[in-house]
Structure 1
Amino acid sequence: MSNNVVVLGSINVDTTYHVDRFPQPGETISAVSKSSAPGGKGANQAVAAARSGAKTAFIGAVGSDKEGAYMLESLADDHIDTRHIMTDELHGTGSAAITLDANGQNDIMVYGGANQAMATDVLNGIDDVLEDADFLISQFETPQEVALNAFKQAKKYGVTTLLNPAPAHEILPELLKYTDVITPNESECALLTGIEITDEESMLKSADYFRERGVKHLLITLGSKGVFYSTPTAHGLVPAFKVKAVDTTAAGDTFLGALSSQLEKDLSNVDKALVYAQRASSLTVQQMGAMPSIPNHDAVIKALAEN
């Protein structure tokens, strides 16, 4: 199976500061080491999809700087179609400063740059990738208006749209009407719906909330507890794989990109695809860095066979 996936989203260069513990407010601490790697939610998701075998195209923007050239090269190295990545002459390439502690937990500060300055003109001429696409993915590190317009275009071609509402903030009501699958984590879900995630009942209520607003399918990532899914015909919890995490930076992005590579457009194989996606994510958190830690299809299949 080989899906065609289009990702509209953010492109960042990640700089990670490795620390023993997070600083207290007003406190200065020393970083043990520092490293840089390609990242951004959108770019991570595209790489995860591509490494799991999906034919992948990217819609986005970078600055006319060395970081932008570096990111275009990084995406092309994973055989991602970069023709629809614009160069912004006024804004720099997005970047993220990540603080990573000894337990593998992180804090992230993001500079939007070209990502946040993106306008709907980035969508000019994207019909050539949408007409063959199975899935279009977007997140909230780029403007919602651009995602809305892209999702509208995607619907003309029968593309299944996936919205990753991260970082979470208020969603344009019209965007939900064009969203087929929404994939928040539990805190994002609670922030968006006002329903605290405590048990299955609260998750089903959350699914009802989104369904009333036009979204048929809800996937809530629950960290070490797994993933809850709700479709119009079924719901359930797919457990997570237990591993020792060293860096959780791209865990959610790997999950979503890997999922899009395996999922049927009608979500008929959602259980199986979720197992695959969670296995991919479990491999990512055992390695350092965002994009460098994302596994390929063979590594995921091998890990599934060992489990």
Structure 2
Amino acid sequence: MSTVFVVGSLNIDQNIRVRSLPRAGETVPGSDATFSPGGKGGNQGVAAARAGASVKFTGAVGDDAHGRRILEVLSGAHIDAGHVRVVAGAATGTAVIAVDDQGENQIIVSPGANAGLTAGDVEAGLAAMRAGDVLVLQLEIPTALVRQAARTAKSRGAFVILNAAPAPRRIDGLLDDVDLLVVNEQEIQVLAGHAGIRGSHRDLVQTLPPVLGPAIVCTAGAEGSHTVLDGNLVHVPATKVTATDTTGAGDTFVGYLAASLAGGPRRLPAALIQASRASALAVTRSGAMESIPWRHEIPASEPSPATTNPAIPYQGVS
């Protein structure tokens, strides 16, 4: 099995439940705040590990109780965190998350120690990478480091997945070494705007890859996910559940997708099904990292992807 390398953010999430999310200028009452480990990078790394992948993580935390808690959770998920740097004098990154009664959220992120990650950290963290490995990236660390990590991975024959979240303000060179782009409905519209293209997320999954370069998987919540294989639109329906908290659902999807593709020759639709089932289970639980299921918890039943050619193999990872 190939190794999943993750270069990304590690945050402590401050979670507050509210009856409804506040509008601009509005103050709403909320529950007592709870604190839990998170960050897009951390969530995706934990998801890949709980899906059964061997995971190596590169990131940074502060020299504080929150940082120590995050390292404990990574260790508990059997992640190699030898390249997670403890930044003296910096606070661990923080995300303030409000979740309403429908499970929808609003998130504000303060980078903290994530901003202290360096090019040297990235090179050291990817030193053991080899052909066939998978690199997972997001955009909660400086984009220069994201570009560097992708370039290094491609030079070593690895497969690069970028979750373009938060949506980038610019894409200059960002996608040059990316094989697979994972975005949601809002993020794909931002990328389309950079490319001067309009359309629904289903249309953009087909029209953007020739312009931007990478293949695209677009997640659309209860609608499921879409991608294109050999010119055919592939739709994987979402598993129907009652959502408690959607925080971390997209990260669960990305981590499980990466683990499936690192597990050997796979068909992308099958990997999407596994990722969809995992993220559906995650939204029935509260929190981000702690809501991510282990592989043995994933229900056995699965939806069938709708495509005109379901037998197309995915050749990106061997």
Following TM superposition, by how much is the alpha carbon of 1:196 offset from its aligned partner in structure 2, in angstroms?
4.0
Q: Does structure 1 retain, via aligned residues, the 8 Å contact 2:4–2:262?
A: no
**Which of 217, 220, 232 is residue 218 of structure 2 equivalent to?**
220
Change in Cα spacing, 1:61 to 1:132, as seen in structure 2 (3 Å) is farther
Distance 1:264 1:124 in 2: 21
Match of 2:294 in 1: 296
Letter aligned with residue 7 of structure 2 = L
1:174 equivalent in alignment to 2:173: yes
Tell me the percent identity. Answer: 36
Q: Does structure 1 retain, via aligned residues, the 8 Å contact 2:138–2:165?
A: yes
**Which of 249, 257, 260 is residue 258 of structure 2 equivalent to?**
260
Distance 1:167 1:142 in 2: 10
| Runs (5+) with no aligned partner, structure 2 | 304-318
Following TM superposition, by how much is the alpha carbon of 1:145 offset from its aligned partner in structure 2, in angstroms?
0.9
TM-score by length of 1: 0.91
Q: Secondary structure at the match of 1:178?
A: coil
Match of 2:278 in 1: 280
Match of 1:46 in 2: 45
Match of 1:154 in 2: 153
1:162-201 CA-to-partner distances (Å, cap 9, x unmatched) read 0111000234432311101111112111111223442643
Following TM superposition, by how much is the alpha carbon of 1:41 offset from its aligned partner in structure 2, in angstroms?
0.3
Distance 1:254 1:5 in 2: 14
Distance 2:220 2:265 in 1: 19
Q: Which runs of 4+ in 1 moved over 6 A?
A: none
Deviates most, 36-45 or 266-275: 266-275
Match of 2:243 in 1: 245
Q: Secondary structure at the match of 1:59?
A: strand
1:61-80 CA-to-partner distances (Å, cap 9, x unmatched) read 11111211111111111110
Q: Does structure 2 retain, via aligned residues, the 8 Å contact 1:193–1:209?
A: no
Equivalent residues in 2 for 1:114-125, closer than 5 Å: 114-125=113-124
**Which of 203, 206, 211 is residue 205 of structure 2 equivalent to?**
203
- The RMSD of aligned alpha carbons is 2.1
Number of aligned pairs? 300
Match of 1:70 in 2: 69
Change in Cα spacing, 1:289 to 1:170, as seen in structure 2 (3 Å) is same
Match of 1:230 in 2: 228
TM-score by length of 2: 0.88
| Runs (5+) with no aligned partner, structure 1 | none
